[in-house]
Structure 1
């Protein structure tokens, strides 16, 4: 159904108030999930807000640093709401980068957030190379295997340019787990060759799917494995089957100050020149070469101009229930 953005936002605000989200955090939480929706990443937008909101009332306090050494810091988020934990972490990473040249922050015991890109972009707008990653329960596997042993392990990175930051936001699985959850709720088929069943065979049936498939064959596996380590053992966090719940899921936020590497003034300019080169790349079909992040930004501009969101009826009903204080109905 086609719904006014302002109406969707008002329902999300009401849901936050119903679940006792601190007043100073409501806008941050709502705007975060609404951004995912306006970017066209529906599995990480309103639908994910409806899912995650059932945990909002479980927060135990504000995030706190429990260990630090040099550029590294570890934060116990005390089950804080995901976007609030992430905002806290990027600020620590930025402060350490200003002082030490790099800030590397691990976060655990937090609720989940939606898209990763806003946090990487926050760091880029402050002049840093920003990198954000997280793991999950062992929900993914590699082609030829039938046992899930990796998290879905998404990554986002962003760099400043002379205009908008260059932003990459991607899963290391062919489809995010949110696609599976929504397909189960809506009785929809899964994308082809993105999920496997108990025997390791590809399936489009959401009720037979057991694992998400890592992208890119053995090379994609190697990338996912690196992210697993950088959101796990680097900070002493659990990995693979050791990630038993939301609260044992690891997150990493990295800020790198280019001035410490000798790049004092031209980091954004150099990045802009690289973007210009990419914009001039020829394609076989004469269509513009796709720059990372361009599709999401175009989608935001489009739906913002229209002032409306196209939301499945089932998701809208769940949002209405959350705004009425029902965090159980699905």
Structure 2
């Protein structure tokens, strides 16, 4: 049985920001990282939440990422921007790239932003949600350390190469956020910390044998077989080759690193009145929600809806943190002489 402690989001935010400030991260950037990691936990994406604090700190210590950097615009057109992140922490750099994409998209109706030379960008839904909340359609993708085999392969070529797409509606945005591997790499680490098994068909051992033991998982498989492989390849090209970033095989295998980051923002009013767009997307969502459930299902959920429900619950009653992750945070707090988040 996994033991948890519970912490309110504001306490976790305070602690997270203080951790990074102690490692020479500017306060503004530290707060952005805290916003991001805590939101991931609030949405139930614990693999991309505060479990990343010691990993990012280790990345700074080992020189994989810089605590601060000055991103530079390398190339810019009316609809596109290419940014060099200067090797800094990925979340603040990617967040600034999103702000640029939103501003440019509002001006010309479409924006494409690529970022290279940056650290791990975290949960992609953080970025696409921000775009959608500005009444724009957002897409974000990233490649990372090679952990995933191509379809039929026996060695890693791709990162978990996640993609997120968010669509504004008259209510909460529809948010798709998924790795193109059959499982996110940090979900394996989280399962190992909790002493849990991983699903069948997502990973292989060093000997190429299927495993459900997270400690034996050496090679990840693409989701959906050759279809997931094709999407992973697409993201590798967009996030790596197109923006001049590293290919997954050339990225240091560490939880603080990334290959490249790709963003697309689209203003629906390029094609039609925004109210007409909202009317039709709301009609579609109502059709989906009113669909008769198949046997074994109680209702039809939209992408992002489970996370929205978890968010409301955790915002109200606190964020559960498994005891092993809590022990890791305790070690960080002791090292940095920071007060741990108050538990409930």
Q: What TM-score, normalized by structure 2, do the two folds share?
A: 0.87
Query: In the alignment, does 2:271 pair up with 1:271?
Result: no
Query: In the alignment, does 2:235 pair up with 1:224?
Result: no
- Displacement of 1:55: 3.4
Check the 8 A contact 2:117/2:245 in 1, yes or no. no
Q: 1: CA distance between counterparts of 2:192 and 2:116?
A: 28
Query: In the alignment, does 2:327 pair up with 1:324?
Result: no
Query: In the alignment, does 2:49 pair up with 1:45?
Result: yes
Give the match for residue 288 of structure 1: 299
How is 1:234-253 mapped onto 2 (pairs within 5 angstroms)? 234-244=242-252, 249-253=259-263
Q: 2: CA distance between counterparts of 1:275 and 1:28?
A: 32
RMSD between superposed Cα atoms in Å: 2.2
Check the 8 A contact 1:141/1:214 in 2, yes or no. yes
Query: In the alignment, does 2:43 pair up with 1:33?
Result: no
Deviation sequence 1:247-293 (CA, Å, 0-9, x none): 66111111012222345542222222211111111112361101110
- Between the two proteins, the alignment pairs up a number of residues equal to 326
Q: Structure 1 residues 70, 9: CA separation in 2 closer, same or farther (over 3 Å shift)?
A: closer
Check the 8 A contact 2:23/2:57 in 1, yes or no. yes
Q: What TM-score, normalized by structure 1, do the two folds share?
A: 0.90
How is 1:75-114 mapped onto 2 (pairs within 5 angstroms)? 75-114=83-122
- Displacement of 1:89: 0.6
Q: Which of 163, 167, 171 pairs up with 1:159?
A: 167
240-249 vs 43-52, which moves further: 240-249
Give the match for residue 155 of structure 2: 147
Q: Structure 1 residues 156, 248: CA separation in 2 closer, same or farther (over 3 Å shift)?
A: closer
Q: Structure 1 residues 99, 15: CA separation in 2 closer, same or farther (over 3 Å shift)?
A: same
Q: 1: CA distance between counterparts of 2:332 and 2:29?
A: 17
Give the match for residue 122 of structure 1: 130
- Displacement of 1:119: 0.6
Query: In the alignment, does 2:341 pair up with 1:304?
Result: no
Q: Structure 1 residues 226, 9: CA separation in 2 closer, same or farther (over 3 Å shift)?
A: same
Query: In the alignment, does 2:202 pair up with 1:191?
Result: no
Unaligned runs of 5+ in 2: 338-344
Check the 8 A contact 2:116/2:243 in 1, yes or no. no
Q: 1: CA distance between counterparts of 2:7 and 2:240?
A: 41
